[in-house]
Each structure stands twice: as C-alpha cells, then as structure tokens.
C-alpha cells in the first residue's frame, strides 16, 4: 500500500492510499478519514460508496463527511467506483465502464477480467483496512449516493450482521426495472435476468430485508428520480414492515449540495447505531 497524501482535517487525518488489487487486477485508490480518537485505539467505520462518474475523491471533497465524522468519532472510507487504467475496458457512455462499476462481479467480456467491484468492496478492501488501520471490524455502517446507494443497500442486505445500519442518498432502488440497471446488468452479468436479482435493493428487501435501521433521503426535484424508483423500495419496506424511513426532501436535486445538506443527519444516524 502506498500513501498518496495525508492532510490534517477536523483534528483527524484525511488520507489517500493506493494498492495493487487482486480483485480488479490493477491499482486501486481509496480515501480514508480517521478521527482524532483513532490515535488511542480502533474506531467504528462508515463506508461511503459513490455514484456514477465518481472516483474516491468526489464524496471525500464535497460531502463534508469529515466534519461530522470527527464529532461522532467514526472513520469514513471512500472507495473508488470502478477499476481504472490502461488495459481496463471502457465505454463512451458515462453510465458504463470506468466510473460505473455498479458494485457487481462482471461475468461477461470485455468486463470480466477487471470489473469485480463486489469482491473488492466486500472482501479485499475490508481485509486491507482492518489490517492496516485502527478500525473496529465489529462496528461498521454503510452509506452512499446514487449508484453507490444501490451498492450500499444490496451489500448491507447480503451480509447479515456485518453492518449496524445502512443509509443512502438518492439510491438506484430498483435497477432491474430501470435503464440505470438493466443496461449495466446485461453488459456485466449477461442477459439471464435471474442473475440480476441479488443486486436489486427492492427485490432483496422483499426477500430478506435488513437486520438494522435504514435511512434513505431522496430529493423531490431530482432530475433522475424516474430512474432511481424510490417508491419501489418504500413499498417493499412497508410490505415487510422494515424498520427505517424513506424521506422525500422538497426541492433538492441529485447533486452533492443535497448530499452535504443531510450528511450530518446520516453520520449521526450511523453513530447512534455504531455506539449503541
């Protein structure tokens, strides 16, 4: 692992690190904010999975997560959204290829050799983090934005007991019924739609739910709301009587202005679950 940069922030340290990844077959970069309390021992960890076109840097710079994480005494990790570099398949469209990994393990050409973001985020990167930094493996939460919201919800429901809480900003809630999902799943996973269900938050909610609290915020003026389908997840949560909330925030769009506005509430939501 290489240290790209480390900067003092809100009493803690915002670092950027890179490493050779077995899962993706190339160099991966991530950001990690450690609060001041990490100097004395392991601290809880909140995962922030970003959305389409993003790198590790977008949420790290724009979400203001470090301010509230420092107050709550939790670390925040910002993984990249896809493999990158020479020899990694790409597409001219913004919603496929580099910057659009969709947190799945691709099985189709030309994506399969590198696009294994499910394994990277759920296995390889956690092992690296808990070996290298003062983080409490038993105290994890996960949040995200847009495509990352899709990833956070599906990962949280697929690993019972790993995460104390899950939240999302404008997540892709029902990708098997949306052009933000069907296109990518067909490319990465193939045309057999039975292989898609494990990556659809609405279908997973109907099938198994989440063993903790959920918080989802959606802007009422989000230009992509018809692709995100928050109503499908809300209906599935209500039918299952899942503990949690899907909130419609009047006038907000899909941007990081929206995310940063409600970041304090989301970090507080996770801190409450993490610290019991």
Exactly one of 80, 145, 222, 270 is catalytic; which is it?
222
Is 146 considered catalytic here? yes
**Over the chain, what is the mean pLDDT?**
97
Exactly one of 63, 146, 165, 167 is catalytic; which is it?
146
CA distances from 162 to 121, 141, 146, 157 (A): 13, 8, 22, 9
User: Locate tokens 């799945």: which residue?
Assistant: 104
Exactly one of 145, 254, 266, 270 is catalytic; which is it?
254
Task: Kindly list the domain boundaries of the chain, sorted by start residue.
Answer: 2-270
Tell me the per-residue pLDDT of 108-146, one tens digit each, with 9 for 90 and over: 999 999 999 999 999 999 999 999 999 999 999 999 899
Q: Which band of pLDDT confidence, cut at 50, 70 and 90, is reported for residue 263?
A: very high
Contact 136, 122 (CB under 8 A): no
**pTM as predicted:** 0.97
Is 199 considered catalytic here? no
Tell me the per-residue pLDDT of 192-227, one tens digit each, with 9 for 90 and over: 999 999 999 999 999 999 999 999 999 999 999 999
Across the range 167-190, mean pLDDT stands at 97
Contact 66, 8 (CB under 8 A): no
Q: In what order do the strands lie in the sheet with 43-49?
A: 2-9, 12-21, 26-34, 75-79, 43-49, 135-144, 163-169, 214-219, 244-249
Q: Which band of pLDDT confidence, cut at 50, 70 and 90, is reported for residue 276?
A: confident
* Number of neighbours of residue 200 by Cβ within 10 angstroms: 25
Is 174 considered catalytic here? no
DSSP H or E run through 272: helix 256-275
CATH topology (fold) of 2-270: Rossmann fold (3.40.50)
The length of the chain, given as a count of residues: 276
3-state secondary structure of 11: coil
């Amino acid at each position: 692992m290489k240290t790209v940069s480390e900067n003092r922030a809100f009493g803690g340290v915002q670092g950027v690190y890179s490493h050779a990844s077995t899962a993706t077959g190339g160099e991966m970069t991530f950001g990690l904010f450690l609060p001041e309390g990490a100097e004395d021992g392991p601290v809880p960890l909140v995962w922030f999975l970003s959305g389409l076109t993003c790198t590790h840097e977008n949420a790290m710079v724009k979400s203001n997560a470090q301010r509230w994480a420092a107050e709550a005494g939790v670390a925040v990790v910002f993984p990249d959204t896809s493999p990158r570099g020479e020899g990694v398949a790409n597409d001219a469209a913004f919603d496929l290829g580099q910057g659009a990994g969709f947190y799945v393990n691709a099985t189709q050409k030309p994506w399969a050799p590198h696009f294994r973001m499910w394994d990277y985020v759920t296995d390889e990167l956690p092992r690296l983090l808990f070996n290298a930094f003062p983080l409490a493996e038993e105290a994890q939460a996960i949040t995200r934005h847009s495509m990352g919201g899709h990833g956070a919800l599906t990962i949280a429901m697929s690993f019972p007991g790993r995460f104390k809480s899950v939240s999302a900003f404008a997540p892709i809630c029902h990708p098997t019924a949306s052009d933000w999902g069907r296109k990518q799943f067909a490319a990465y996973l193939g045309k057999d739609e039975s292989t898609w269900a494990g990556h659809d938050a609405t279908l997973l909610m109907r099938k198994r739910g989440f063993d903790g609290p959920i918080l989802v915020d959606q802007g009422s003026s989000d230009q992509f709301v018809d692709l995100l389908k928050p109503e499908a997840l809300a209906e599935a949560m209500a039918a299952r009587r899942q503990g949690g909330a899907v909130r419609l925030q009047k006038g907000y769009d899909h941007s990081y202005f929206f995310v940063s506005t409600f970041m304090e509430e989301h970090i507080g939501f996770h801190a409450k679950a993490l610290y019991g």
